[in-house]
Amino acid sequence: MASYSSHLLSLLVFLPAAAAFLGLGARGLGLLRRDVALWYGSLFVTVLTFGLGMMLSPNSEEKYTWIPQLGVSYALSLDGLSVWFVLLTLLVMPIALFASMHAIRDRVAEYCFHMLLLETAVLGSFLAADMFLFYVFWEVMLVPMLFIIGIYGGKERLFASMKFVLFTFVGSACMLVSIMVLVYMHKLQFGVPSSYLPDLLRVHGAIIPSRLLFSAFALAFLIKMPCFPLHTWLPDAHVQAPTAGSVILASLLLKLGGYGLVRIAFPLFPEAAHFFQPLGMALGATAVIYGAWVAIVQTDMKKLVAYSSVSHMGAVVLGLFALNSIAMAGSIAQMISHGFATGGLFLIVGMIYERFHTREIAAFGGLARSMPKMAFFLVLMTFASVALPGTSGFVGEFLILLGAWQTMPVYAGIAALSAIFGAVYMLKWIERILYGQAKSPSLAVDLSHREILILLPFTLGIFWLGLMPGSFFHQLEPSILKMQFFLTTGGYHHG
């Protein structure tokens, strides 16, 4: 079983890509002519990948040498930290595919191709243990996303997708330079270049260069998160993207920023992390309030949810830069919770759009009367977003604020105000659309069984993380402890 499980990770990562090419090729050869076959085929592949993922055991690793002259290895590893992100990915992809079945009508083959390729790229990013490999997957992730937004999106889709790609690219370019410097430094200090992450953790460097390198990494990850003030690509991307694209963007792509900070930036440069801690926490706290304030005045539903994402990821940044174990655990819980809650919100917004073909809040009213099931899910997701105890949002927010208070009470206090402002925009939104008099009653058809099925996993996820997070934190603990080791003792640099 050992050799089998050691290949499971690669199988997991590349199965969707292989299926993607197969599907496209089959369509090109005229084999899978009906769209339905492609949909269900892709759905099957994603569910199969999910099944494979359930067979994973944490702390598995796979490493082969790839380009010895550059020190690049092909290394995938799964530990308590990445397992939750991987599972989130495996859960979100089938749901996103299932949700787009009715929405995407033409160019279905390319759509399935892009989605499956995206799954591979995201899984690869979460599992990569080699910096070069990580960078490859990070960049590959942009291409299918560009096409998904650019082909299947709204009116201004080309602008939004270009903005998204260029924004992320700037950060990635800086990150690439940092990676190359690190590889070179490893060569200087140990004789051979290597981009394998555990090897790079042994590199020691002077203070100023390591701060610069950290800034480059942080830039890439903060753009991805997104953190104020580098967040303006997100509202445009979300508004123009199709529903499934938004769900994937919110639930998965945004998590990569946080994951990158925890996995790569902080362990490599602990001193720089401490140096930039005030700035990071300030940015996080600002983002929390800023996102909430801007969300209050939005008239487009998707933009409102997009800015709420900015607010939540600001809390994540705050928690991460607090650099203590409570806040870090809270940040990771908040990231997973945000994946559930905001993913669910985008799904619901998509369902509303499919019926009414508008996203303007002012055009709605009285939906709770005609669509009680949707109202239930919407209220649930909303309150999970607002960190109501019992939902996953509370677990994340509470731990973040508790941990952040230990380090810098002022910023934690500011971020706590998000309890008020979050409630303001969320309640304003749902009050406008759910309550009052109905505006277009004939279009308000309640959720079908398929749609309830789509929303169910996120709902269960919210309650699981909110009421029984024991297993979550249990898996996470070794990684958090390792993180603390790096941050407090400076890792291997002084050992």
Closest to other proteins by CB, 67 or 419: 419
Residue 212 Cβ, how far from other proteins at the closest point, in Å?
A: 21
Cis peptide before 242 (omega within 30 of 0): no
Interface with other proteins by CB under 8 A: which residues? Answer: 163, 166-167, 229, 231-232, 290, 293-294, 296-298, 325-326, 329, 366, 368-369, 372-373, 376, 379, 383, 388-390, 394-395, 398-399, 401-402, 405-406, 409, 412-413, 416-417, 419-420, 423-424, 427-428, 431, 434-437, 467-470, 473-474, 476-477, 480-481, 484
Closest CA to 381 of 372, 394, 370, 391: 391
Compare residues 18 and 467 and give the one whose CB is closer to other proteins: 467
Among 274, 263, 397, 386, which Cα is nearest to 335's?
397
Rg (CA), the chain: 22
Shortest Å, Cβ 287 to other proteins = 12
The Cα–Cα gap between 295 and 301 comes to 9
DSSP assignment, residue 353? Answer: H
Alpha carbons within 13 A on the beta-carbon side of 110: 13
Cβ neighbours of residue 112 closer than 8 Å, sequence gap 6 or more: 20, 23, 38, 39, 41, 42, 97
Q: How far is the CB of 476 from other proteins (least distance, A)?
A: 7
Nearer to other proteins, 112 or 332 (CB): 332
Using the minimum distance from each CB to other proteins, give the nearer residue, 296 or 443. 296
The nearest distance, CB 494 to other proteins, in angstroms, is 22
Tell me how far, at minimum, the Cβ of 416 lies from other proteins, in Å.
Answer: 5
Nearer to other proteins, 151 or 416 (CB): 416
Rounded CA separation 288/294 (Å): 10
Q: Is 179 or 326 the residue whose CB approaches other proteins more closely? A: 326
Q: Shortest gap between Cβ of 326 and other proteins (angstroms)?
A: 5
Of 71 and 267, which has the nearer Cβ to other proteins? Answer: 267
Q: Which residue lies nearer to other proteins by CB, 55 or 166?
A: 166
The type of residue at 296 is I
- List the structure tokens of 296: 């209050």
Task: Round to whole Å and give the CA distance between 374 and 344.
Answer: 11
Q: Are strands 72-78 and 60-67 parallel, antiparallel or unpaired?
A: antiparallel
- Cβ at position 120, least distance to other proteins in Å: 30
Sequence length of the chain is 495
CB neighbours of 477 closer than 8 A, spacing ≥ 6?
Answer: 80
**Burial degree of 261 (CB within 10 A; 0-12, 13-18, 19+):** buried
Bridge partner residues of 360 (DSSP): 300
Residues 6+ apart with CB under 8 A from 338: 250, 251, 254, 255, 309, 312, 313, 316, 385, 393, 396
- Supply the minimum distance, in Å, between the C-beta of residue 445 and other proteins: 15
Closest to other proteins by CB, 213 or 395: 395
Shortest Å, Cβ 155 to other proteins: 18
Nearest to 154 by CA among 416, 350, 355, 331: 350
Least distance to other proteins, CB of residue 168, Å: 13
* Cα 324 to Cα 407: distance, rounded to the nearest angstrom: 8
Judged by beta carbon, residue 264 or residue 412, the one nearer other proteins is 412
In whole angstroms, the minimum distance from the beta carbon of 390 to other proteins comes to: 6
Q: Which is nearer to other proteins, 20 or 326 (CB)?
A: 326
Give me 162's structure tokens: 């270009």
| Paired residues of 72 in beta bridges | 67
